[in-house]
Amino acid sequence: MRSTTSDDSRLGTQFQTAAHQAIASLETSYDVVVITQNVDELHERAGSINVIHVHGQIAYARGTSEARKRYRIEGSPISMGQLCDDGTQLRPDVVWFGEDVQFLEEARAHIASAGKVLVVGTSLSVFPVASLVNAARGRAEKVLVSLNVEKPPYGYRCLRGKATEVIPALAVKWLAEANRNSG
């Protein structure tokens, strides 16, 4: 199973939600890879182990050289003249407008091999990440949970509602299904 989330600001950035916790709970029965555009660590705080941040992480800074050395900074500000060990200016380790998305091909490979694909809280309008939904296998169970997608991608079942309500119920269903199939 693969889980993909997006940058829906309604989830907030100060605490993980029931949706984050439900996604993490799936790891008890599934091989879960969370692919997120969010730059926070809410999935990790909820217990998810394998998280791919395609737009980077705000808790890190990096130099501007090709080496991309990273430093954990938490919420500390970065100042002009604050340098990386390689002598380049530090900057937030996030993808800025016009920059290439990180780990896009790795994310695509995970989605292409998944038996279940869960897409949460996205308008599917931020590209190129929105195109990842098309990488899912035809036989995969594909679910989109969103309040604001007019037309779900082909092959996706759309569950309209708040992620904090829909995802926990879906996780319970999928965990029960996994338990039935393992016994």
Give the Å distances, CA to CA, from 86 to 33, 64, 72, 120, 170: 32, 9, 16, 38, 47
Phi, psi of 95 (to 5 degrees): -85, 125
| 55 in active site | yes
Write down the catalytic residue from 20, 43, 53, 55.
55
E-assigned strand segments in 116-171: 116-120, 141-145, 157-159
Please count the other Cβ atoms lying within 10 Å of the Cβ belonging to residue 136: 25
Show which residues are catalytic: 55
